[in-house]
Amino acid sequence: MALVGFARSSIARLAVLHAGLLAVSMMAVLGGVYLGTSRLIAEEGDQLIALEAQGLSEDFRERDLDAFVTTVVDRAEDPWVRGGVYELRGPRGDFLAGNVVVLPELAVQPGGWAEFDVAVTRGDANASRRIRAKVAELGGGYRLLVGHDVQDRRTFRAVMLRSLAWAVLVTLLFGALGGWWLGRRLSRAAQAISASAGRIAAGNLGERLALTGSGDEVDALVSRFNELLGRVEQLTTTMRAVLDSTAHDLRGHLNRIRGAAQDARQTAREPAAAAAADAVLAEIDRLSETLQGLLRIALAESGTAPLDEVDLSAVAADLAEFYQPVAAPGQLSVAIDPGLSVRGHRQLLAQALSNLLDNALKYGRGTPVALRLTRAGANARLEVEDRGPGIPAEHRELATQRFRRLPGSSGLPGSGLGLSLVAAVARLHHAELLLGDAGPGLRAVLELPLAIGGSAH
């Protein structure tokens, strides 16, 4: 788990990328040097062999055979002093001179090149040396093999390759370390920003990110982020103040209107006047109910509602008991796991659940309603479902918007704020209201993170 997490982290990706790029460029540079050097050495060596073979061919043409054989014998006398090997063969393939016997086995065209190993005794040690040779056609059926010891070339190549491998390995190691360091720095900054953003989203708008003081790009980002937060806080505070004073003002007005209407109702002499006053009173009450609903949603969404540890099991059980008499016998089934506590706002949670039960009993049109509260990992899962007509998938998002009432619900009472309050309360509790198909019917699900300490009472 930890490894998978690490492999997915940006630190790991950056470390691998950094090391990989460094290693590839190192391989390109050193590989180029290696190829160039070994080609140069090989070409120069071959040129020397070709030159000697050419010289000896000229000797063969200018001198008589015996003198030429003597020259070859002289040169071949001690092959490891000058590092040369020779073999001279006559027209019938007979061995005339030389210090190796390889020509009969070599399937080389005259003028061609061959490579073979020769066993050498030097001191006590037996060693095998690599020879590169050219076969020259001397004319009249005589053939001469001229070769040089190229063992050093091979050794050089091996050393080069080994160094290259080491260089790449070391580069990989340091590249990974560098990438890891860089990644960790960025990742720490990102984590700090992410943690702060989480707390700010939870309503702690006064929080600011700490600067590292290095004045680098991360610091620049952080101070920009802080500016943004300052702006958000200022806007939120202004919004809140406007909302509070507007609400206060509206309530004052409504109160006066209600007082006047009530007064009119009490002093009305004619039934028509009394009926009119009653209608006004009823409208005022609906208006204040809507205002109240909107303000509750605003309270939940502001994230400023004070949160405490709430025994959700008890809240759910109380509400189930509260609604039980409204339901037909056996209509409301309840299954509640005990002892599930969340950090939350008791009144808002109770109101949200009350809205869900209310909707299920109202829109479920007498079908069975189920209330379930279960533990789902680190969450408390609250479900309310009915077997009524449900909400078609394309309308579910609309259902949580303010004042949206779904087609077909116009005959039923409701302000169009019920589900938006539930959605707002869910967000206050870091949860989401999910509306699904109970097949048939509507299933509303809230998954709220359990309070730390889980099952406190």
Partner 1 sequence: MKILLVEDDRRASDYLLKGLRELGHAVEQAFDGEAGLKAAEAGNYDVLVLDRMLPKLDGLEIVKQLRAAGSAVPILILSALDEVDERIQGLRAGGDDYLAKPYHLEELAARLDALARRQGEAGFVARLKVADLELDARARRVTRAGRKIELTAREFQLLEFLMRHAGQVVTRTMILEGVWDYHFDPKTNVIDVHISRLRQAIDKGFERQLLHTVRGAGYTLTEDP
Q: Which residues bind partner 1 (CB under 8 A)?
A: 244, 247-249, 251-252, 254-260, 262-263, 266, 284, 288-289, 292, 295-296, 299, 305-306, 318, 321-323, 325-326, 345, 347-348, 350-351, 354-355, 358, 361-362, 413-414, 418
Q: Is the peptide bond before 440 cis (omega within 30 degrees of 0)?
A: yes
* Minimum separation from the CB atom of position 206 to partner 1 (A): 19
Classify 126 as helix, strand or coil.
Answer: strand
φ, ψ dihedrals at 330, nearest 5° = 80, -5
Of 187 and 288, CB closest to partner 1: 288
Cβ partners under 8 Å of residue 165, min gap 6: none
Are 391 and 265 within 8 A, CB to CB? no
Of 347 and 379, CB closest to partner 1: 347
* Minimum separation from the CB atom of position 414 to partner 1 (A): 7
* Minimum separation from the CB atom of position 201 to partner 1 (A): 21
Burial-class residue 362 by CB neighbours within 10 Å (0-12, 13-18, 19+).
Answer: middle
For residue 323, give the nearest of 379, 364, 292, 295 by alpha carbon: 364
* Minimum separation from the CB atom of position 405 to partner 1 (A): 13
Distance of alpha carbon 161 from alpha carbon 33, whole angstroms? 11
Strand residues in 20-141 grouped as ranges (E)? 84-89, 95-98, 113-122, 125-139
Of 15 and 369, CB closest to partner 1: 369
Distance of alpha carbon 441 from alpha carbon 398, whole angstroms? 17
Of 30 and 320, CB closest to partner 1: 320
Task: Look at the chain and count its residues.
Answer: 457
Of 25 and 245, CB closest to partner 1: 245
Of 32 and 259, CB closest to partner 1: 259
Distance of alpha carbon 36 from alpha carbon 54, whole angstroms? 27
Task: Report in angstroms the alpha-carbon separations of 22 from 18, 30, 329.
Answer: 6, 12, 75
Of 288 and 367, CB closest to partner 1: 288
